[in-house]
Structure 1
Amino acid sequence: MHNPILQFGTSRFLQAHADLFISEALTRGDALGHITIVQSTDSAQSARRVAAFNQPGGFPVHIRGWEGQAAVAREHQVTSVTQALQARGDWAHIRAAVASDVQVILSNTGDAGYVLSAADHAGLLDGAVAPRSFPAKLLVLLHGRYQHGAAALSIFPCELVTDNGTVLRDLVLQLARDWALDAAFLAWLRADCIWVNSLVDRIVSEPLEPVGAVAEPYALWAVEAQAGMVLPCVHPQLIVTSRLEPFERRKLFLLNLGHSFLAEQWLAAGGPADCTVLQAMSDETMRRSLEAVWIEEVLPVFAALGEALSSAAYLQQVRDRFSNPYLAHRLADIAQNHAQKKQRRFAPVLTLARQLGLNLPQHRLQAALDGATACAPPLMNTHGCYRLK
């Protein structure tokens, strides 16, 4: 199958975001083409997922929530994915596809996706065995494409890393230098391949088995404009912008920070394992604490940047999204890798306030970042969550 889009990662997020975007665009004739998915792990669960992706007819994505004042309950059958491969068993096939048909590479490889492996080495360039890390896989595939004389391609990382395209490019370039690859190939990687910084924003709360997902109506895929960039599709929720930073800042400081601040309170209180964002937002004291952080400790930073109106509008959307009655978005899932998330989501707000010269008390965020809690001991409430005194 000669698909022009290769996707690393099988997450429910990509299924309900990029894969759904491209599926919808295909029905209008606005997509580059279909997707081949690469699964990197070899577990039994992964094998079942690959088999399900390879079944004809696609997979379901359920959209649940509010758009304006109206309740939304839509079911989509995503048909953009027509092939799924496993890296270890299908590596030769994957290399051949990248050397010829592929024009766009998408990725969402999780929190550890950019971590290199000491087991990877230059001997893997012969293509017999797939490297372990995603950057090394990408380097081997791009080197094979270069050797075949194929045109450079566009690479769209969707990992939640600031300047993800630049970061991934620099990782691959450094790996190429470590493997002593020639200067002409390094120049091709740097100047010819298009490494696109992008931001993705959609709450995908639940998987469907064996593949599929439940997600909210809101979705954004913001990509930084670059000359020669080939888009995977044209879609109303895919925005090409010359300035990605404001989109990133709003998502990080309002949505992501809000999620982690709720998780911080939940962890500090030893809350019930099944507590959801909706239940937390239904607790008057928890919500009041989060609102105080947003209004007193975050929005003044946006105002100092001249972004008061856009941030206030986005925050209202976030409030609606957090109160979505149709999504079971568990705080336990949000709290995974919590210490690292706090560093990424809380610390930049504090740093930026200082850089802007704001005399802004940010006691709650600082206490959360330090590992303390600014909240009193909890009491259980009728939502199965907890109430703070």
Structure 2
Amino acid sequence: MKNKILQFGSGVFLRGFWGWMVNELNKNENFDASITMVKLTPRGDLSQFKETSGLYSLSTKGLLNGEVIDTNEEIDIYQRFIHPYPEWVEFLLTAEEEDLQIVVSNSTEAGIVYKQCLFPNECPETYPAKLCAWLYKRFVHFDQSSDKAPLILPMELIESNGDKLQEIIIKHANDWGLDHNFITWVQKDCDFRNTLVDRIVTKGDKNDACVEPYHLFAIEGEEAEEILPLKKAGVNVFWTKNLPAFRETKVRMLNGGHTSMIYAAILSGETIVADALEKLEIDQFLRSILLDEVLPTLEAKGGDKQELTDYAEAVIERFKNPFLNHEMINIALNSASKLLVRILPSFNDSTKLNKKYPEKLSKAIAAFFWFYRGSVEGDTFKGESEGLTYEFADDAKAMSAIAKCDTSSAANFAKAILACSAWKGAFNKHPDFEATLTKILEEFEEKGLKASLFPNT
């Protein structure tokens, strides 16, 4: 195999997501590529990978198109392991390799940062500084050749990850007084892409990984299948000119789906996500939110209805994964801020689109508020509903503000909770939602949570 890929990061996500993709390329497209793994932090070493010569087992467990998937395979695409702190020179020498075409990374959300430093004679602290030094070495060695400028795919879960990485590298180049032609090469020839990655990956024994069948890799810009034929290899990749739409879809459907359903489900006596969705009424509640209320708002922004439908169905299927013991109370941790990001944008857009409040999202918001009735003890929120007691952690300031809301009647609670400072005035644009919320809360009191939320049960 040819060493075509330089990977910054040794975490399990890259093995379960990217390592698996490269293995699929080798199997299905004769890609003939190996990966050089570069450690990002000074602590620890890479001996665990060297001991197995990079070989690891990947287990795929979950549902795919309604069928249970439970498979194992051995993956052998990591061929070299470099710890740049003691092996700085060896690390830089990889920049001289003819076949190297692609750079990937997963340095966590905090990894793409600028930290001023001198031109490195030894390994610098941050990932962008490491990459800048490596790119400069390659630029010099290959005499500024545009053909040797790599495709760079950061997989950190931050917006505009490729743009931000490029900006920091240019800043380092200016700090270090590097050749202006190098900066032009970084800007014009190096192909930095913004990306979005999506797959649940958990750690197995030693270097092994366990993944769900679902995966998505969205890459902004024109297709680069001649360099990286992911689509041809059968990988669920989208080369797109509208990455923000993918991000918005994920946040509103995947994250928003979780947040919309769990409070209604918990208050109905459920504890595990997959188990809850075995109940027809909860499954239908979530489907109605995603397909009838969220999807049209995304379609109105130019999204493809069939693609959005497929994604929504995939989200529901992922939630039903029988191999994931996903406790809903854990998802409820630190949720005060999630209402603003995951649910309200869809609620706002649906209201504007249909000139009325969306029924299921309104009930989801009401269940969210009802869940937050209770008291604060230290850093813990304690709630109670219909004999069910629960506690969880959240932002102290938000918890304190919510706990002060008047719960003496549905009307008083609706008025107080909508005006609560935790929502940063988000409901001010919907002054008449108070009446709608009051009616839902009164139904909670009169009929009980389950009968009100799921009237057909």
After TM superposition, the score normalised by the length of structure 1 is 0.78
CA 311–146 in structure 1, closer or farther in 2 if over 3 Å, else same? same
Question: Of the candidates 98, 116, 125, which is equivalent to residue 132 of structure 1?
Answer: 125
Are 1:86 and 2:79 counterparts? no
Are 1:26 and 2:26 counterparts? yes
CA distance in structure 1 between the aligned counterparts of 2:240 and 2:75, rounded to whole angstroms: 30
CA 81–230 in structure 1, closer or farther in 2 if over 3 Å, else same? farther
**Per-residue Cα deviation, 1:10-31 (whole angstroms, up to 9, x for no partner):** 2322211210111122134532
Question: How do residues 324-335 of structure 1 correspond to structure 2 at under 5 angstroms?
Answer: 324-329=321-326
Q: Give the drift of 1:92.
A: 2.0
Question: How do residues 161-310 of structure 1 correspond to structure 2 at under 5 angstroms?
Answer: 161-204=158-201, 206-226=202-222, 231-234=227-230, 235-245=233-243, 246-261=245-260, 276-279=272-275, 281-282=277-278, 290-291=286-287, 293-295=289-291, 297-306=293-302, 307-310=304-307
SS in 2 for 1:187: helix
CA 326–301 in structure 1, closer or farther in 2 if over 3 Å, else same? same
Q: For 1:241, give the aligned amino acid.
A: W
**Per-residue Cα deviation, 1:117-164 (whole angstroms, up to 9, x for no partner):** 3xx41x2x3432x22222222222212222223621110112223333
Are 1:113 and 2:103 counterparts? no
CA distance in structure 2 between the aligned counterparts of 1:332 and 1:107, rounded to whole angstroms: 32
CA 70–210 in structure 1, closer or farther in 2 if over 3 Å, else same? same
Q: For 1:136, give the aligned amino acid.
A: A
Query: 8 Å contact 2:64–2:317 — kept in the other structure?
Result: no
Q: Give the drift of 1:53.
A: 5.3
CA 168–126 in structure 1, closer or farther in 2 if over 3 Å, else same? closer
Query: 8 Å contact 2:219–2:239 — kept in the other structure?
Result: yes
Structure label with greater radius of gyration: 2
CA distance in structure 1 between the aligned counterparts of 2:224 and 2:283, rounded to whole angstroms: 46
SS in 1 for 2:185: helix
CA distance in structure 1 between the aligned counterparts of 2:7 and 2:339, rounded to whole angstroms: 29
Corresponding residue of 1:6:
6
Corresponding residue of 2:38:
38
Corresponding residue of 1:104:
102
Q: Give the drift of 1:196.
A: 1.8
Count of aligned pairs between the two proteins: 369
RMSD, aligned α-carbons:
3.9
CA distance in structure 2 between the aligned counterparts of 1:238 and 1:160, rounded to whole angstroms: 18
More deviation, 69-78/297-306: 297-306
Which ranges of structure 1 fall in alignment gaps of 5 or more residues? 382-386
Q: Give the drift of 1:288.
A: 6.4
**Per-residue Cα deviation, 1:42-88 (whole angstroms, up to 9, x for no partner):** 444xx3x6523552361011111223243221111111112222232
Corresponding residue of 1:59:
56
CA distance in structure 1 between the aligned counterparts of 2:213 and 2:220, rounded to whole angstroms: 23
CA distance in structure 2 between the aligned counterparts of 1:350 and 1:226, rounded to whole angstroms: 33
Are 1:75 and 2:72 counterparts? yes
CA distance in structure 1 between the aligned counterparts of 2:177 and 2:349, rounded to whole angstroms: 39
Q: Which has the higher contact order (CA 8 A, sep 6+)?
A: 1
Q: For 1:147, give the aligned amino acid.
A: V
Q: For 2:21, give the aligned amino acid.
A: F
CA distance in structure 1 between the aligned counterparts of 2:264 and 2:84, rounded to whole angstroms: 40
Query: 8 Å contact 1:59–1:78 — kept in the other structure?
Result: yes
SS in 2 for 1:3: strand
Query: 8 Å contact 1:4–1:104 — kept in the other structure?
Result: yes
More deviation, 217-226/184-193: 217-226
After TM superposition, the score normalised by the length of structure 2 is 0.67
Are 1:315 and 2:309 counterparts? no
CA 368–5 in structure 1, closer or farther in 2 if over 3 Å, else same? farther
SS in 1 for 2:110: coil
CA distance in structure 1 between the aligned counterparts of 2:169 and 2:177, rounded to whole angstroms: 12
CA 31–247 in structure 1, closer or farther in 2 if over 3 Å, else same? farther
Q: Give the drift of 1:251.
A: 2.3
Query: 8 Å contact 1:106–1:155 — kept in the other structure?
Result: yes
More deviation, 236-245/286-295: 286-295
SS in 2 for 1:18: helix
Q: For 1:76, give the aligned amino acid.
A: E
* Identity %, equivalent residues: 26
CA distance in structure 2 between the aligned counterparts of 1:113 and 1:339, rounded to whole angstroms: 26
CA distance in structure 1 between the aligned counterparts of 2:64 and 2:22, rounded to whole angstroms: 21
SS in 2 for 1:132: coil
Q: Give the drift of 1:328.
A: 3.6
**Per-residue Cα deviation, 1:322-370 (whole angstroms, up to 9, x for no partner):** 101123456688678867776664565467669x76646379979999x
